[in-house]
């Protein structure tokens, strides 16, 4: 049962109230949105600008009916790092563009055939273990960032900054109510940054030298890199795109329950997926990471009962403006690596744990050998980093291979997964209860 909103979806807030409420949403998405480009070596400024532009495109394509904010997706960290290692940031942007195209195609299919086929293709026994792989495959990266100094050697001083950041983030997440419980990443980074200043591992010189207005380093196709599509890019990133579609559906169901509208029917799941894909394509065209709707901002909606799309649009405009402020970009770059490592330890663990939660909520029976076989193979292939190499420029590896194998095993093995088919509804109820608590 939904509570009467303070501001409904189409309500326009007063100017002063508008600014305050939009900045609140900006804070909610800020920590996670800048962490992704920080981890993969892209520009945080471009991530902010692309999140703002993508959110405005999403609002337009969903007919200004769905108050969702789109930020950087964590699911694509490993594929983007792999693509950058193979062919630089240009190859990563081509991969990001392909993600958007996949969303376009799925949107068209859903419009014609509904979305039940996607649920059958991606039952909990496949999606849950893949989400666990997404989190745990990055654990080594997080620990390395937390423990090492800039020279790549173990440092207790730097590790202490990571531990302080981690402890602060956990405290904000577990012990606080209201807005602070929604922005634990940002709050933890701030605490870790202050501690890092006190122990002398922050260099303020670039911040002092930065201009207030500064043009970000955009990455444009055909200008900054050559565009060349290849099967290795497609096979590395498309399986992850298929899995993140389930996350999108889950968020839309959560949002529907929080606000009291059926967004699967109106404006339609095909429109919200189209909006997500468009945001990702916009991001790819200017040098940003793939986009996804943010649970943090859905939490803000649940707590404040302010559902206005104009507030979300205000946050998007603020994010675009922030991206052009050189001092802010320089301040983000001055955050010590162990601070981001401390946050990442918790964040990647939470991603993995959410996969476990999906399996529990869906009542997956691991006494069933079919379920046991599918999940076991996905976990070992994904975390172990297995790959199929056809040539030097063509291979399927890690997370992507795990997702493909999981989908195939689910389709060909006899019997059915002994769990509820409505994994999104089960996950939604837990998420909604958590946000409304």
Tell me the average pLDDT of the chain. 87
Which pLDDT band holds residue 426 (cuts at 50, 70, 90)?
very low
What's the burial of 276, exposed, middle or buried (CB within 10 Å: 0-12/13-18/19+)?
buried
Range of the domain at 63: 15-120+143-335
Mean predicted confidence (pLDDT) in 133-154: 88
- Residue 327's pLDDT band (boundaries 50, 70, 90)? very high
**What pTM was computed for the model?**
0.83
pLDDT-derived band at 417, boundaries 50, 70, 90: low
419 in a structural domain? no
| pLDDT tens string 184-200 | 888 888 999 999 999 99
Instruction: Determine the length of the chain.
Output: 437
Q: Is residue 99 situated within a structural domain?
A: yes
Q: Is residue 399 part of a domain?
A: no
In the predicted structure, residue 437 carries a pLDDT above the cut 50: no
Please name which of 58, 427, 114 lies closest in space to residue 274, comparing C-alpha atoms. Answer: 58
Give CA–CA dist 108/236, Å, rounded: 23
Tell me the average pLDDT across 72-78: 89
Q: Nearest CA to 272 among 414, 147, 103, 112?
A: 103
The answer to whether residue 404 sits within a structural domain is no
In a domain, 435, yes or no: no
Whether pLDDT at 392 is above 50: yes
Domain count, the chain: 1
The pLDDT score that the predictor gives to residue 425 is: 47
pLDDT at 111: 92
Weakest-pLDDT range from 156-165, 231-240, 309-318: 231-240
Residues 257 and 280: their CA atoms lie apart, in Å, by 26
In a domain, 28, yes or no: yes
Band (432; pLDDT cuts 50, 70, 90): very low
User: If you average pLDDT over residues 292-303, what whole number do you get?
Assistant: 84
Question: pLDDT band for position 114 (50/70/90)?
Answer: confident
CA 253 to chain centre: 17
Write out pLDDT tens, residues 329-360: 888 888 898 998 898 898 888 888 888 988 99
Q: Classify residue 111: in a domain, yes or no.
A: yes
For 37-66, how does the pLDDT look when each residue is reduced to its tens digit (9 = 90+)? 988 999 999 999 999 999 999 999 999 999
pLDDT per position as a tens digit, 265-286: 999 999 999 999 999 999 999 9
């Amino acid at each position: 049962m939904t509570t009467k909103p303070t501001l409904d979806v189409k309500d326009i807030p007063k100017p002063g109230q508008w600014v305050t409420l939009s900045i609140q949403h900006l804070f909610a998405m800020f920590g996670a949105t800048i962490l992704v480009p920080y981890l993969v070596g892209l520009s945080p400024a471009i991530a902010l600008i692309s999140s703002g532009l993508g959110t405005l495109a999403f609002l337009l394509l969903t007919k200004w009916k769905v108050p969702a904010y789109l930020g950087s997706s964590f699911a694509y960290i490993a594929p983007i790092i792999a693509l950058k290692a193979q062919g630089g940031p240009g190859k990563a942007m081509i991969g990001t563009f392909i993600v958007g195209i996949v969303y376009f195609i799925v949107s068209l299919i859903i419009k014609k055939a509904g979305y039940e086929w996607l649920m059958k293709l991606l039952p909990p026994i496949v999606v849950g273990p893949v989400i666990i792989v997404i989190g745990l495959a990055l654990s080594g990266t997080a620990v390395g960032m937390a423990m090492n100094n800039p020279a790549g050697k173990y440092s207790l001083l730097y590790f202490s900054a990571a531990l302080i950041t981690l402890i602060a983030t956990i405290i904000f997440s577990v012990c606080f109510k209201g807005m602070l419980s929604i922005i634990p990443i940002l709050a933890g980074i701030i605490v870790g940054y202050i501690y890092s200043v006190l122990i002398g591992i922050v260099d303020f010189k670039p911040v002092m030298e930065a201009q207030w207005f500064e043009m970000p380093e955009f990455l444009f196709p055909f200008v900054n890199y050559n565009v060349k599509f290849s099967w290795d890019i497609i096979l590395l990133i498309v399986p992850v795109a298929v899995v993140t579609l389930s996350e999108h559906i889950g968020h839309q169901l959560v949002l529907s329950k929080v606000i009291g509208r059926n967004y699967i029917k109106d404006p339609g799941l095909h429109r919200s997926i189209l909006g997500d894909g468009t945001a990702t394509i916009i991001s790819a065209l200017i040098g940003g990471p793939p986009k996804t709707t943010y649970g943090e901002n859905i939490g803000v909606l649940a707590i404040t009962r302010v559902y206005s799309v104009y507030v979300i649009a205000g946050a998007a405009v603020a994010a675009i403006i922030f991206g052009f402020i050189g001092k802010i970009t320089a301040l983000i770059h001055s955050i010590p690596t162990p601070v981001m490592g401390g946050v990442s330890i918790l964040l990647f663990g939470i991603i993995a744990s959410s996969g476990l939660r999906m399996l529990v909520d869906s009542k997956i029976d691991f006494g069933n050998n079919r379920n046991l076989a599918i999940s076991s193979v996905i976990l070992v292939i994904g975390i172990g980093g297995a790959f199929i190499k056809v040539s030097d420029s063509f291979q399927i590896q890690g997370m992507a291979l795990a997702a493909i194998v999981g989908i195939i095993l689910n389709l060909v093995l006899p019997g059915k997964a002994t769990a509820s088919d409505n994994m999104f509804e089960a996950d939604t109820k837990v998420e909604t209860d958590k946000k409304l608590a």
